[in-house]
Amino acid sequence: MGSLFSKSISLRKSVKITDDEFIQLRDFIYDKSGIYVDIKRKYLFESRFSKRLAELGLGSFVDYIKLLKVDRMELNKLFELVTTNETSFCRDMKQLEAFQNNVLKEKLDQQRAAGKKELFIWSAGCSSGEEPYTLSILLHEALKMELASWRIKITAVDLSPPMIARAKKGVYGEYAFKTTPDAIKTRYFTKDPEGWKVKPTVAKLVNFQQMNLNDSASLKRVARSHIVFCRNVIIYFDADMKKRVVTSFYDNLMPGGYLMLGHSETLHKIASTFKPVYHPGTIAYLKEG
Ligand SMILES: C[S@@+](CC[C@H](N)C(=O)[O-])C[C@H]1O[C@@H](n2cnc3c(N)ncnc32)[C@H](O)[C@@H]1O
């Protein structure tokens, strides 16, 4: 670490954050990721970041903010501290069943009828990969032997490099299966010394990359999609960032495409461009056209 930051290597347990420092750090995080941290979380912040400051040998948040401005690796560490990566295979089964029986079925039928056996899906905020692999599994279940004649691409992105690395590795412990029927686990995973490894046929459909949803230029480079999944991600953004991200999804989707959000998320007051389509268990947001 450069001398600018190497003062007072104290192993103190908690470094206090002033309101002013909190606001500086909050604004920095918002600027870099679109994640908005409410002042109510200031003390949670203080405890989470104190450990990192101690590891770095920094005695104040002022020094930490200086470091963040010049050190890209530290910025990635910061993202790890502020994001919640909670996920699992087949998360929210009720929604997934409604998606499979309605949205996915409709899109597959439409594509078949148009003689275009191709489907492009974007999983935005994919964490360690459970969501896009689940989508690949749903496609295997829906298409069975017919899958071989389809061109399917699931683009899965996340802000966090360690999450993307885990996703690419594709080996999971029991926790990742807490919402998964056993039959799915044994059909699509093989036992590995480190856990359960996703089968190559499932992995083949998914392409992972690190991407910041706050970076509109990167979002524009994602191939156009028939379906966008962005579940349990926009919940961490403020209204302005939600609007920007949802507009990017709208622009990315092909006419007739659908946006799927998490069960506690809504486009109410965010975007009126999509038409909500209600199914028991989920709302799918349609880009008409
Ligand atoms: C709670 S997880 C949701 C995972 C999965 N979609 C699901 O529902 O199970 C939220 C994910 O969003 C990612 N995320 C947060 N802000 C992001 C941003 N600005 N760009 C890309 N990913 C982001 C986090 O890194 C985290 O992995």
Tens of pLDDT, residues 32-55: 999 999 988 888 888 889 889 999
Cα(225) to ligand 1 centroid in Å equals 19
- Contact, 176 vs 138, CB < 8 A? no
Report the separation in Å between the CA atom of 106 and the middle of ligand 1, taken as the mean of its atom positions: 27
pLDDT tens, 106-140? 999 999 999 999 999 999 999 999 999 999 999 99
Q: Compute, in angstroms, the gap from residue 235 CA to the centroid of ligand 1.
A: 10
86 Cα nearest atom in ligand 1: 1
Residue 181 Cα to ligand 1 middle (Å): 24
pTM, rounded to two decimals: 0.93
Quick one: what percent of the chain has pLDDT higher than 90? 88
Torsional class of 33: left (φ above 0), alpha (ψ -120 to 50), beta (otherwise)? alpha
Pocket test for ligand 1, best of 30, 82, 83 (most atoms within 8 A of CB): 83
Instruction: Count CB atoms within 10 A of the CB of residue 120.
Output: 20
- Whole-angstrom Cα distance, residue 94 to residue 280? 8
Decide: 95 in ligand 1 pocket, CB within 6 A.
no
Residue 274 near residue 283 (C-beta atoms within 8 A)? no
Residue 89 DSSP SS3: coil
9-23, 189-203, 209-223: which has the minimum mean pLDDT? 9-23
Alpha carbons 196 and 260: distance in angstroms, whole number: 27
Ligand 1: residue of 159, 264, 265, 282 to mutate (most ligand atoms within 8 A of CB) is: 159
